[in-house]
Amino acid sequence: MSTSSAVSGIQPFRIEIPQADLDYLHDRLAHARWPGDAPGGEWTRGVPLPYLKELAEYWRTRYDWRAQEAELNRYPQFTTEIDGQRIHFLHVRSEQPGAKPLLITHGFPSSVAEFTHLIEPLVDPAEGQAFHVVAPSLPGYAFSTPLSGPGWAMGRTARAWAELMRRLGYERYGVHGGDVGAGVSGMVGGLDGEHVIGVHVVTDPLTAANVATFIPGMADRLDANDPVDKLILDRMDDFAKEGSGYLAIQNSRPQTIGYGLVDSPLLQLAWIAEKVHEWTDLPVDRDQLLTTVSLYWFTGSGASAAHTLYEQAHSSEWGAPSAVPQGFAVFGADDTVRRLVPAPADAHWTEFRRGRHFPAMEAPAELAADLRAFFEPLK
């Protein structure tokens, strides 16, 4: 970290959840009230009862928060205040010569715990480009709480990220993200192009189709007689009818769902576990999943994260075009993504057949390799 960090209001941070909070979580899980199982017991109506019971019991009796807390605390962590908002971030510097600063941003429903298997291959690779990794918690997520007020959509976050990198003394840096983090990363590239060397994002066919449902006139641009366009239209329709409920309520009534997310560990567990199940096709480490759920629970950030989704849904700011080099890593790739993602002709483009929405958890080695391949030639 630069010598200017102390005067920039950056403070060291360490995760230390009180034992009373752990005891309370275990007690709530032990005395949970359960509904009956859904007819048929399948995922079509939500998380099946047997699945959640088993996962909740593991969370209560076998999951070791203290071990996961110690694992996160291996990485240097800090907090600072930017634009009135407390920002928590990991800052892991590489000892390898020629390491490049890299700002990585998680999405929803995620946290910096998503990157615990990605950071070391970036900071200390066996070969190729190394990075100094900066991984902030989005405003309203985990320890970047409480929210200071309204307005924390992606544009304001991107401006905060540019300021964070300035405070850390990085004059040239790369950015990477997925989901909400992809949007924020693209905006950082657009507003701070003087300092950003490149923007790298991850996506997958279902995420691309889901995002397309919010683009005005997108359905009219697609030809139902074309097989690829028809697949996109079907996915958009399926998301609108069956998959968008979680987003609809957070985009419209974040405070209402927030009461349940903050008060019920079962709801917070189901809220995240459902999306990880639906949006992955490679195994995700169960302890890593529960670490993110625990971060939401201990910080009460289920509600504040929902409010940031509301802010974005009601924002008219979607960022200026970025002139910096762009890279795309498409997981679970098929022919639809090229039609949905507005990538420049000279963009770095890599397709992976497996993995989906959370590649940092599903396929961290492949993602790290693609980040090295994209950023290594950029000066």
pLDDT of 107 reads 97
pLDDT of 316 reads 86
Output the pTM of the full model.
0.95
pLDDT of 8 reads 74
Q: What is the dihedral of CA 308, 310, 314, 320, to 10 degrees?
A: 30
133 pairs with which residues across the strands?
92, 102
pLDDT of 284 reads 97
pLDDT of 2 reads 44
pLDDT of 4 reads 44
Cα–Cα distance measured from residue 6 to residue 12, given in angstroms and rounded to the nearest whole number: 10
**To which H or E segment does residue 244 belong?**
none
> Under CATH, domain 6-204+244-375 is a member of which superfamily?
Alpha/Beta hydrolase fold, catalytic domain (3.40.50.1820)
Match 């990538």 to its residue by tokens: 343
Of 258, 267, 240, 248, which is closest to residue 47 (Cα–Cα)?
Answer: 267
Cα–Cα distance measured from residue 313 to residue 318, given in angstroms and rounded to the nearest whole number: 11
Cα–Cα distance measured from residue 102 to residue 110, given in angstroms and rounded to the nearest whole number: 19
pLDDT of 41 reads 74
Q: What is the dihedral of CA 379, 160, 299, 286, to 10 degrees?
A: -20
**Spans of the chain, pLDDT less than 50:** 1-4
